[in-house]
Amino acid sequence: MTLRYGLIGSGMMGQEHIRNLNLLEGCEVAAIADPDPEMRALSVRNAGGTAKAFSDWHDMLSEGGLDALVIVSPNDTHHAILMEVLDTNLPILCEKPLCTTVEHTREVVAKAAGRRAPVWVAMEYRYMPPMQRLLAEVRAGTVGTPRMMAIREHRFPFLHKVGDWNRFNARTGGTLVEKCCHFWDLMRLVLQSDPVRVYASGAADVNHRDERYEGQVPDIIDNAFVVVDFESGARGMLDLCMFAEGSYWQEVVSVTGEKARVDAMVPGPARFSKDGKERAAEVEISHRATKEVVREVVEVDEAVLAAGDHHGSTFFQHQKFRDLILSGKGAPEVSVEDGLWSVRVGAAAEESARTGKAVEL
């Protein structure tokens, strides 16, 4: 059986979804809806030339013949789209963040309650092979009880997207929602606990200062420190810098307990490296009692790496989403409730960065 996917939105991340669905057996991008004619044409070509193109996603749904939807439109459109497409019986994979505000996200969660077809929130960072290795070590008890989780992301600035919608908090939810919802989700997954308090310090210091859009200067944060306290007593920290594209590792994720520390180290996309080549991720385990340090390379198929900017994770996520649809049973690994938690923490971090006060959840 070939699953026929319809994409709502086909910008930069939409192209990544198309490339990965092309690699996945039993999947076909059958229809694409996007208001931009150039992106529609590009998407049809990249999908193999046979996909139907629509300027309005309502027309795409009316046409029928789809087995699943992937929502990849700008963040601020997710709420309105979801509140309609949740009335269908189609499986849905929605890009992160689920919505830009906590209120809108709660409405989506309520609307999705009791729905038979799955809704999967696209938290790609869960599915990076080095993160899966880190998670496996934590689950196996290697670190003992995870007490601290630190994430450092030092990367390139936000890229130009169609209409530059990603330059303003009003459309993205803010950097700590738009970009960092991945990390709050990863912290909850690894620590197996819910956040109770968020403190953030951040600002817009370097990026996009010379840009103007209808006279407005972009207001998205480009650097921050965020501390998250969890119900279990564990704590997490994010060190974010979006003007550090020369960093050897784009992400370093560390989990520490009384027995050991596990570090997952992930390079940035090949197109941002000095030589334009892919590099492998690495995982390092530092044992407290023996002082032994074990380091390993995490290999990923080159075709999968080349299909996106998320170290192969989009492919593995789609693989699991496809299998869920085909099985007709089970629940999404990333639920709308998970999506709500990530927006809640991100929104709290944005508020804390503005006010200088810790925010209780």
| Residue 207 sits in the same domain as residue 78 | no
Structure confidence at residue 36 (pLDDT): 95
Question: Is residue 105 domain-resident?
Answer: yes
Give the Cα separation of 339 and 328 in Å (integer). 22
CB neighbour list of residue 48: distance below 8 Å, 6 or more residues apart? 22, 29
| Residue 199 sits in the same domain as residue 50 | no
Give the Cα separation of 30 and 19 in Å (integer). 13
| Residue 81 sits in the same domain as residue 139 | no
Question: Is residue 107 domain-resident?
Answer: yes
Where in the sequence is the domain holding 71, given as residue range(s)? 3-124
Give the Cα separation of 361 and 357 in Å (integer). 13
| Residue 251 sits in the same domain as residue 138 | yes
Question: Is residue 41 domain-resident?
Answer: yes
pLDDT tens-digit series, residues 52-84: 999 999 999 999 999 999 999 999 999 999 999
| Residue 50 sits in the same domain as residue 140 | no
Number of domains in the chain: 2
Q: Which two tokens stand for residue 159?
A: 């890229």
| Residue 53 sits in the same domain as residue 201 | no
CB neighbour list of residue 213: distance below 8 Å, 6 or more residues apart? 164, 167, 168
| Residue 134 sits in the same domain as residue 245 | yes
| Residue 129 sits in the same domain as residue 85 | no
Give the Cα separation of 208 and 310 in Å (integer). 23
| Residue 149 sits in the same domain as residue 8 | no
Give the Cα separation of 308 and 292 in Å (integer). 35
Sign of the four-CA dihedral 343, 347, 352, 354: positive
Give the Cα separation of 199 and 179 in Å (integer). 17
Domain end, chosen from 124, 150, 180, is at 124
Residues of the chain scoring pLDDT < 70: none
Q: Which two tokens stand for residue 241?
A: 């810098």
Question: Is residue 195 domain-resident?
Answer: yes
Question: Is residue 309 domain-resident?
Answer: no
Phi and psi angles of residue 349, each rounded to the nearest 5 degrees, phi first:
-65, -40
pLDDT tens-digit series, residues 6-29: 999 999 999 999 999 999 999 999
Domain end, chosen from 73, 96, 124, is at 124
Question: Is residue 329 domain-resident?
Answer: no
| Residue 165 sits in the same domain as residue 203 | yes
pLDDT tens-digit series, residues 92-114: 999 999 999 999 999 999 999 98
| Residue 218 sits in the same domain as residue 261 | yes
Q: What's 145's domain CATH number? A: 3.30.360.10
Question: Is residue 308 domain-resident?
Answer: no
Q: What's 42's domain CATH number? A: 3.40.50.720
Structure confidence at residue 163 (pLDDT): 83
Predicted model pTM: 0.95
Question: Is residue 284 domain-resident?
Answer: yes
Domain end, chosen from 92, 124, 156, is at 124
| Residue 93 sits in the same domain as residue 224 | no
